Every structure is written in C-alpha cells, then in structure tokens.
A = this chain, B = another copy of it.
Amino acid sequence: KLQCGDGSDGQINVADTGEFSFSDKPTLDDIRKVQHEFCKERNWDQFHTPRNILLAMVGEVGEVSELFQWRGEVKEGLPDWSEKDKKHLAQELSDVLIYLVRLSERCHIDLPAAALEKIEMNKKKYPAHVVYGSSKKYSEYDLKE
C-alpha cells in the first residue's frame, strides 16, 4: 500500500538516512481510539461537533504560532531552544494532532489513507524534474492538473 518511490516521478529513492524518525507506535488509529475513550469517559461527545473541534484546532494552531513568533527563522532540530520550550512545542503540536484526528473521526474521514493518497497526488502535481529546487507557486509552472 505504501508507495514511496513508485517511480511516478522518475526518481529512484534511496533508503532514509535514519537521522530522525518518529516512534512506530502509536499509530493514528491508536491515537483516535485513546482520544475516543477519553471523550466517552467524560461524556464529551456532545461538545465534539465538527465545527467545535475545528475551532479548538484553530486555537491550538494559534498556540503553536505563538511559540514561533518574534524569533526570526529557527534552525532544524531547534538547537537554540530551551528544553522547556521544546517540550511546550511538543505539547502544542500534539494538541493540533489530537483535534485533527478527532475532527477526521467525527467526519468519518480515514485520515491516514487520505494523507497517503494526497501525497501521491502531490507527486503528480509537482513532477520532480519540473519543480526541482524551485519554490514557484503551482500556478506559475506550465503544468496541467
């Protein structure tokens, strides 16, 4: 099912350098389940309508933004951040993910499957040989969908 390097853009993929990676677990469905239980145990499903969750997610994205404001650009891996700020960022990114997963669940959207499909669409939309090293907007390339 995973189609990393399926040749749709004519590139041969090498294995990941393994410099940084996520834990294999929990999966997105594990997170969905744990959050589902969390809400059920609190009888909070009644508040978790799609638009309520969307607004909660927007709020959390704002909290992530706050952590990046006024800093100028930051370096990969955040070498100049305190442990406290990194921990705080991990928590705010988590809040975004938790609400994103919950919103997808309430909308009956299979988020992991959809994301993989979207990346496959992106590969076709942005063929490597055309966009290599360029940050033009899609509409500036001479491409057709």
Q: Which of A10-62 contact B (CB under 8 A)?
A: 11, 13, 16, 20-38, 41-44, 46-47, 49-51, 54, 57-58, 61
The docked-state distance in angstroms from the alpha carbon of A11 to that of B44 is 14
Known contacts A112-B27, A119-B35, A20 near B50 by CB under 8 Å = no
Known contacts A112-B26, A116-B34, A77 near B107 by CB under 8 Å = yes
Q: Which of A101-145 contact B (CB under 8 A)?
A: 103-119, 121-123, 126, 128, 131-133, 135
Interface magnitude class on chain A: 35 or more
Known contacts A13-B41, A42-B131, A51-B68, A25 near B61 by CB under 8 Å = no
> Smallest Cβ distance from A111 to chain B, in angstroms?
6
Known contacts A28-B27, A30-B2, A76-B106, A38 near B114 by CB under 8 Å = no
Binding site for B on A (CB under 8 A): 1-5, 9, 11, 13, 16, 20-38, 41-44, 46-47, 49-51, 54, 57-58, 61, 64-65, 68, 73-74, 76-78, 86, 89-91, 93-98, 100, 103-119, 121-123, 126, 128, 131-133, 135
